[in-house]
Structure 1
Amino acid sequence: MQPQTRKILIDTFYIVATQILAYYGIRYMLSNARGSENQGQKERGKAVAKRLNLKGLQLNDYENTIMGEVILPDDVTVTFGQIGGLDDIIQDLNESVIYPLNHPELFTSPSGLLGSPKGLLLYGPPGCGKTMMAKALAKESGAAFINVHLSTLQDKWFGESNRLIRAVFSLAEKLQPAIIFIDEIDAFLRTRQSTEHEVSATMKAEFMTLWDGLMSSEGARVVVLGATNRPNDIDAAILRRMPKRFLVGPPGPEQRHQILSIMLKNAELEDGFDINALVRSTGGMTGSDLKEMCRNAAIRPLREYIRTNPVELQRHKERGGAGESTAQLTTEETAGVKLRPLVLTDFELTSVHHAHALGQAYNLGDDLFSLRESLD
């Protein structure tokens, strides 16, 4: 072999070997980069799987990532008994979701018409209890609750988002009965447009395709639950897949009475406290507004005590150190403090006019949503 030919072969070998090493090196670094990003999520997923005692269940990397979004019923403290003013919705959820998920033998028929709907939508103005209702449903149903976050599904590598969406449904089928919950569903599954980015469009298409595949599965005890305060922004194809829709609006007088009774159950009130007068003065307020109003009222007696007992506060500073705020009284230190009971004037109604405006604005939006449903 000529020396020149030998040199060409050696150079060619080194070039090819360098390219191969560079390819596998870059591939290794990219795989490690993605693994480090999802490592925390996978660790949470392993902890959840351990608590579920899923020793014989085989999960792939994507399902392990989604497993980190699973919320167990024991970790939820909210129950239906803590939600006031939504008894009709609670009863409907019990009959159409919880019973079919937990007692499938009662909802079998040759016609196939019995069973839980594959999609539910909770919609209404902010602060009316949609997310709280979803938490209570996770607690009361005893089902695996997959709280899907858009940040978990989105991935910078092409095609990975679709695989994560597929993992959501495959994991739900393995853990059934299961509820897939998407809060602010309008941000993810909003109306499709021709100018939409390709990645977002393929994610929506993948989600709907898998949703339909799940609906065709015999005996699959999986429900997709969405919550939003912008129902008109949700794609029409998604609304078709959510036949059960519940308007969680501002509470009426009876509902506000029930909510306030639950919130003030353990509060010390003055003798003859007129809760009906409080109910009448809070028209149009949401459940969140009522909670904030009660919180502000409950802290007023403590503020008065702090301002009128500077000596006690000075002692507290000496015990706790100069770096602590004088308002940071511990439970042990306030155990012997006698605060006055709450009176009606403690409840400032500064957000009433705002709440009225919110309710009126959303009533208009709800009318438009109803009109759109009738046209569809």
Structure 2
Amino acid sequence: MGLFSNPQLRRVAQDGVYSTPLTSGITSIAVMAATYYVTRLALSYMDPNHQKKSDAKKVSDTKLGKLGVNRKEVKLNEYEEQIAMELILPDDIPVTFESIGGLDGIIASLQESVIAPLIFPEIFSSTNGLLGAPKGVLLYGPPGTGKTMLAKALAKESGATFINMHVSTLTNKWFGESNKLVAALFNLARKLQPTIIFIDEIDSFLRERSSGDHEAMAMMKAEFMTLWDGLTSSTDRILVLGATNRPSDIDAAILRRMPKRYAVSLPDASQRKKILSIMLANVPCHPSFDMDEIVRKTTSYSGSDLKELCRNAAMVPVREVLRSRTGREKVEQARQSSKTGGSVHGANLAMTVRPLKNSDFFQVDVAHAAPTEPDALD
């Protein structure tokens, strides 16, 4: 009996097709697998968050690459990719501790009790567990006193991975997704440690809990505190840094997890003088300029107020030049040149800007042009 003694097999062979139950099974499996992957791909493109997830992966890959993270060793899921978008690169931050005036005491304490334990854990290791970085640090004080600048300087100089966590990133309209994002936040921090998680205006997120809280928000807060409490291992080097101007609104359970608290108050006279010295370091000043007079007149000013004061004062000499006849001609030339695709350099015009005087401070900027006067630059 030969292979083709079976009439059915003989007919299949004569038609040029040879089939057995084994090959039929393989074909069916291949078709099912192809159908599965095609359907999965189609569903992924139908996902309304597909583009958002794709963009998150690109941004996180770029940032992690600049931080020197080996993506072959550090694997991230889709939630961790979204959190990785909040990473802050030290090269993108222009603020250092030297550029912050009047907060030397707080800076020194942060360097000793926060940065050093994170970066050099072997120095602070002990059998009794008393040494080491705290789990949380709170910066509180009036608006404009430099709390966010301190956080930026920490990101610049700490050497730790810095996650600037926005509450909007953790919130999601789908039930349970916010909890997954919170878990991804701490998982990513653990993978990239030493890590500082910064939450600005922390009172808006972790405020006092009440029975009127939405269920999803209550669950997210509980998840956050549970994972925060899990940072008790001696191998974890993760710090939660918060800033607020309303510390009384923060939940008591959150304050317990932030044992290091720094009151960033309004600067006194010596602090204001140092802040002004930093801000006016590269500004040409008249020989008669008296900084002490500005210091005396700025009682109760915050660092942000002083910056705005200096900015307005520096604009006064520039405004005088722009409102002069020569300045108006240069501005008109620049406007006409921009229409034709050309460019006009203002170097010659900038040379006519006079040095800063005390009288330039505390002036009220007007919205209308100054009265026509003889051109002082002619």
TM-score tier by shorter-chain length is: 0.7 to 0.9
Secondary structure of 1:74's aligned partner: helix
Is contact 1:282-1:349 (8 Å) kept?
no
How big is each residue's C-alpha offset from its partner over 1:86-142, in whole Å with a ceiling of 9 and x where there is no partner? 000000000011111111111001101101111000111111111111000111101
Is contact 1:124-1:248 (8 Å) kept?
yes
Aligned ranges 1:184-195 → 2 under 5 Å: 184-195=201-212
The two structures, once aligned, show a CA RMSD in angstroms of 2.4
User: Which one of the candidate residues 346, 353, 364 is aligned to 1:339?
Assistant: 353
Q: Which moved more, 1:44-53 or 1:94-103?
A: 44-53
- Structure 2 partner of 1:277: 293
- Structure 2 partner of 1:239: 255
Alignment pair present for 1:57 and 2:74: yes
* Cα distance between partner residues in 1 of 2:330 and 2:322: 12
How big is each residue's C-alpha offset from its partner over 1:40-84, in whole Å with a ceiling of 9 and x where there is no partner? 333211111222232311111111111111112222110000000
* Cα distance between partner residues in 2 of 1:105 and 1:312: 62
Query: Given the two structures, how large is their TM-score scaled by the length of structure 1?
Result: 0.81
Distance change (3 Å), C-alpha of 1:251 and 1:312? closer
Secondary structure of 1:251's aligned partner: coil
- Structure 1 partner of 2:196: 179
Shift of 1:151: 1.2
Q: Percent identity?
A: 54
* Cα distance between partner residues in 2 of 1:58 and 1:176: 14
Aligned ranges 1:39-54 → 2 under 5 Å: 39-51=54-66, 52-54=68-70
Shift of 1:156: 1.4
More helix by share: 1
Shift of 1:34: 2.3
* Cα distance between partner residues in 2 of 1:330 and 1:198: 59
* Cα distance between partner residues in 2 of 1:256 and 1:49: 39
* Cα distance between partner residues in 2 of 1:341 and 1:74: 32
Distance change (3 Å), C-alpha of 1:79 and 1:331? farther
Show structure 2 runs of 5+ residues with no match: 1-35, 365-378
Is contact 1:123-1:229 (8 Å) kept?
yes
* Cα distance between partner residues in 2 of 1:159 and 1:330: 56
Distance change (3 Å), C-alpha of 1:31 and 1:231? farther
- What letter corresponds to residue 123 of structure 2 in structure 1? L
Shift of 1:219: 2.3
How big is each residue's C-alpha offset from its partner over 1:311-361, in whole Å with a ceiling of 9 and x where there is no partner? 44224423442878xxx98554544x22211111111077xxxxxxxxxxx
Distance change (3 Å), C-alpha of 1:208 and 1:349? farther
* Cα distance between partner residues in 1 of 2:349 and 2:152: 32
* Cα distance between partner residues in 1 of 2:174 and 2:261: 35
User: Which one of the candidate residues 122, 126, 133 is aligned to 2:143?
Assistant: 126
* Cα distance between partner residues in 1 of 2:122 and 2:46: 45
- Structure 2 partner of 1:95: 112
Secondary structure of 2:129's aligned partner: coil
* Cα distance between partner residues in 2 of 1:262 and 1:173: 37
Aligned ranges 1:150-165 → 2 under 5 Å: 150-165=167-182
- Structure 2 partner of 1:318: 333
Show structure 1 runs of 5+ residues with no match: 1-20, 351-376
Is contact 1:43-1:68 (8 Å) kept?
no
* Cα distance between partner residues in 2 of 1:72 and 1:296: 31
- Structure 2 partner of 1:86: 103
User: Which one of the candidate residues 28, 34, 45 is aligned to 2:49?
Assistant: 34
Secondary structure of 1:78's aligned partner: coil
- Choose 1 or 2 for highest CA Rg: 2
- What letter corresponds to residue 42 of structure 1 in structure 2? K
Is contact 2:44-2:50 (8 Å) kept?
no
How big is each residue's C-alpha offset from its partner over 1:155-189, in whole Å with a ceiling of 9 and x where there is no partner? 11111111111111111111011100001111111
How big is each residue's C-alpha offset from its partner over 1:256-276, in whole Å with a ceiling of 9 and x where there is no partner? 010001111111111132111
Is contact 1:73-1:143 (8 Å) kept?
no
Alignment pair present for 1:248 and 2:281: no
- What letter corresponds to residue 148 of structure 2 in structure 1? T
- Structure 1 partner of 2:245: 229
Secondary structure of 1:246's aligned partner: strand
Query: Number of paired residues?
Result: 323
Secondary structure of 1:181's aligned partner: strand
Aligned ranges 1:347-362 → 2 under 5 Å: 347-348=361-362
- Structure 2 partner of 1:260: 276
Secondary structure of 1:245's aligned partner: strand
Secondary structure of 2:198's aligned partner: strand
